[in-house]
Amino acid sequence: MKRRMHAAVLSVLALILGTGALVFTTSGAAHADINGTVTLTPSGGTVTDKPFVTGLSLSAGCPAPYQDALRVSLITPDGLTKALLVVKDGAPYTSVPAEVTLPATAPTGDAYVSISTALRTVADGTYPLTVECGLATPATDQALRTYTMAIEITGQNWAVKQTAPATQTTVTLTESPVGHAQVNNKVALTAKVQPADAAGRVQFLRDGTSQIATATVADGTATAQLPALANPALVPLGAIFVPDDNTKYTQSSTTVSYAIVDEPDVTVLDDTGNALSDTPNLKGGQKIAVTATGFLPAPSGSSGESVDLTLDGAAATPATAPADSAGAVDNLAYTLPGSVADGSHKLTLTGHTSGIAVDFPFTVGAAASTSGTTAGDTSGDTSGDSSGSTAGDTSGDSSGATAGDTSGDTSGDTSGASGSDTGGDSGGDIGGGSGDSGGTSGGTSGGGGTLAATGATGVLPLTGLALVLAAGGGYAVHRVRRNGKLLSFGPSARD
């Protein structure tokens, strides 16, 4: 019981020292990049020895600034790192070689763990052993500088195993879409391992600890998918390559920062705080406040990407603004130049890093499209409605047809054509809609030329047909009356 309690206490102590006092990665052997050898004293022992060695020598020492502490660990077959020693006694380790003597009891600030306690379940086999040079504060580079060797465990004994150095591996992580993705969209992750023939698997991580997926490496590639996220944020992503044979290939890792951005949108308020409609008509010198979303979010405690502001492609004032933690530019004050010309214009906010652009179109003065629509609407609508609808309704069928034909053809054609010239087809179409309710004349007037011609052409054939029918009817009456067969009342001479 005492033995288990001591082991638990020392395990907790090692964890505290490894994570609080020193900066060591938790993903295994981060970089086996020191070209040197480790000599253990003694070169063998039992799995219950604590410390498991009494001394060690590092042939190339520890490079600056990684000279504040040492961590000695075993790598398990499933890629986990199990710390045996966390040592600060005798630091800084600046000598070459670096000689470290371990007393029987761990000095204050150091931690000793036996092999059996670290592994919990001891199985026979070959285990990579790493010695990492570390730094006490994460100045600029938190990567550890590492020596690698191996020990062989048989039953309750261990011994240094002389093996060829494991081949260094590297892993890189790419995302699709590249650089950023909009909220509520999945992101494809691809890890590339070199050498490509290194067999193993890749663990994909989010936020350093949360595992997204584990995928087997095939031809140097492993893939996974980042689930869709609902809120904009900068997401730390990681990939750890764990070799199937960790005596043949080293473990390697990489991290990247990936942006989840909001959907691009823009809201503009006038100087009274009212939201402007789409493509509003503004005046030179008018003050507005612009809020735009969809840019790269800011890292915690700092500003996001710079957002450039342009008017019709030229730099505006203010020229830039920082995005906030949600990737938004909030209530950016802007005054429209007093000399801005009449016509269509566009304010554009562009992320300096991402290239994401959000446009706000507007007009100044009387734009051509506005004046044309007004002219066509007034001329076509008024003429068609007054001439066709009023005259047709008041005068009856004959008067309406005549007045509608004359007025609709003349007035509708003339004013409709005028509306077509100044405002395009919109003026004629609008006028036609009104005139149509007034009967034939209104339809003629509203058509603005084309429909007027159609109405005039249709009246002449109908008039001719009416004359033919009238003549035929008169002749028929004459013949019937002559034959005495015309309908009459009362007795006739023949009765």
Q: How many residues does the chain have?
A: 495
Provide the pLDDT confidence category of residue 182 given band limits of 50, 70 and 90.
Answer: very high
Residue 111's DSSP bridge partners are 86
Angstrom CA distances, 392 to 364, 407, 408, 440, 461, stand at 43, 10, 10, 8, 21
Using the predicted structure, report yes or no on whether residue 457 has a pLDDT greater than 80: no
Q: Cα(first)–Cα(last) distance of the chain, in Å? A: 146
- In this structure, are residues 387 and 344 in contact, taking their beta carbons and an 8 Å threshold? no
Provide the pLDDT confidence category of residue 86 given band limits of 50, 70 and 90.
Answer: very high
pLDDT of residue 56: 94
Residues 213-259: tens digit of each pLDDT: 999 999 999 999 999 999 999 999 999 999 988 778 888 899 999 99
- Among residues 190, 203, 189, the alpha carbon closest in space to that of 243 is found at 203
For residues 469 and 284, the model is more confident at: 284
Provide the pLDDT confidence category of residue 146 given band limits of 50, 70 and 90.
Answer: confident
For residues 164 and 38, the model is more confident at: 38
For residues 21 and 308, the model is more confident at: 308
pTM score above 0.95 = no
pLDDT of residue 370: 44
Using the predicted structure, report yes or no on whether residue 268 has a pLDDT greater than 70: yes
Angstrom CA distances, 89 to 40, 67, 308, 410, stand at 17, 11, 53, 107
- Among residues 329, 268, 283, 336, the alpha carbon closest in space to that of 304 is found at 329
- In this structure, are residues 297 and 313 in contact, taking their beta carbons and an 8 Å threshold? no
Would you call 315 exposed, middle or buried from its count of C-beta atoms within 10 A (0-12, 13-18, 19+)? exposed
pLDDT of residue 186: 95
The sign of the torsion formed by the CA atoms of 408, 409, 412, 415 equals negative
Number of H helices, E strands in the chain: 8, 26
Alpha-carbon dihedral angle through residues 108, 114, 119, 123, given to the nearest 10 degrees: 170
pLDDT of residue 484: 41
For residues 276 and 474, the model is more confident at: 276
CB hemisphere CA count around 36 (13 angstroms): 20
Q: What is the mean pLDDT of residues 198-215?
A: 92
Residues 339-389: tens digit of each pLDDT: 999 999 999 999 999 999 999 999 999 754 444 443 334 343 444 443 433
CA 29, CA 166: separation in Å to the nearest integer?
A: 12
Residues 40-75: tens digit of each pLDDT: 999 999 999 999 999 999 998 998 888 889 999 999
